[in-house]
Amino acid sequence: MSASAFDAETAVVTRGDGQYDVRLSTAWDIGDNANGGYAMLPVLRALRQESGHSDPLSITTHFLRPIQGGGDARVDTSLVRRGRSVSVLTGALTVAETQRLTVSAVFGDIDDHKLGTGIDIPAPTIPPPEQCLNRAELVQGVALPIASRIDVRVPADSAVASESKPAISEGWVRLSDGTPPTALSLPLFADAFPPSLFAKLGSIGWVPTIELTVHVRRRPADGWIQARFECDDLIGGRMIESGTLWDSAGRVVARSRQLGLLLEA
């Protein structure tokens, strides 16, 4: 069986001593730059190999500079601590001899911890995917090559911005080729939707991510992932956006928190 685009285009090849090579694809671009959720994935794959554990539990990524796909890149990893339950590591993606992003991550095994269950967040009621619009059909002001790799569906009323609306972006997401979601794909999905500010202000410019933290809570069931993101803080052109992802069984599978910079077009 051939590898999915998700696996093939985020694959890493070890050099030894914690270094890995990767070939970045342009298929995950937004405009001229790689989507940040995509660009962090080769680093996560390398860190997972170094960690000795199966699942990312907490991932914090700082985006230092724009990243162009279509070229060779290097991942450098460092093991901070290897433990029986969790391991802590850091990694960096370097393109053209310039560091583009850094990742600090905790890896473990999600199924190892089964106590303390029963606190969860119910998924909001929204139209099913087949009744929603494909994100690629909305006015974006930028080309979306990533639409060939990720299928994002949003409610029809998302197409119209209004200052009276809350700053919320929500809908459904899956890999376009039908590859089932995994714990590793959840950080990608947490960075796949239009900025929540667009619901209130319209597509007013570029909102680059400065920092994104994703906490993976469960391995997702097969099927669509439902997502909701809300900007609850905008000061000095810097926004904070909180997000939640649910799987097809209605369970919370990831939470996110993002610091972004609002730049006028």
Residue 42 to residues 7, 63, 113, 256, Cα–Cα distance (Å) = 10, 14, 26, 19
Supply 57's token pair.
Answer: 């539990």
- pLDDT of 115: 55
CATH topology of domain 1-110: Porin (2.40.160)
Q: How many CB atoms lie within 10 A of CB 221?
A: 16
How far separated are the first and last CA of the chain, in Å rounded? 44
- SS3 breakdown of the chain: % helix, strand, coil, rounded to 5? 20, 40, 40
Q: DSSP per residue over 202-253, as a string?
A: -S-EE--EEEEEEEE-SPPPSSPEEEEEEEEEEETTEEEEEEEEE-TTS-EE
CB atoms within 10 A of CB 126: 18
Output the CATH code of domain 127-265.
Answer: 2.40.160.210
Which part of the chain is CATH 2.40.160.210? 1-110, 127-265
Here the tokens at position 186 are: 């959840």
Secondary structure letter of residue 193 according to DSSP: S
Confidence at residue 203, expressed as pLDDT on a 0 to 100 scale: 66
Q: pLDDT value at position 183?
A: 97
Query: What is the per-residue pLDDT for 70?
Result: 87
pLDDT of the residue at 207: 84
Per-10-residue mean pLDDT of the chain, 265 residues long, equals 86 97 95 93 98 96 92 97 95 97 96 66 96 80 86 88 88 96 97 88 77 97 97 92 97 97 77
pLDDT at 45: 98
pLDDT at position 141, please? 62
In this prediction, residue 142 carries a pLDDT of: 73
pTM for this structure? 0.93
**What is the reported pLDDT for 112?**
55
Give the 3-state secondary structure of residue 39.
helix
Contacts of 255 (CB under 8 A, 6+ apart): 214, 215, 217, 242, 243, 244, 245
What token pair was written down for 228? 């909701």
Of the candidates 115, 147, 160, the residue with the CA atom closest to the CA atom of residue 28: 147
What are the φ and ψ backbone dihedral angles of 18, each rounded to 5 degrees?
Answer: 80, 10
What pLDDT, on a 0 to 100 scale, did the predictor assign at position 117? 64
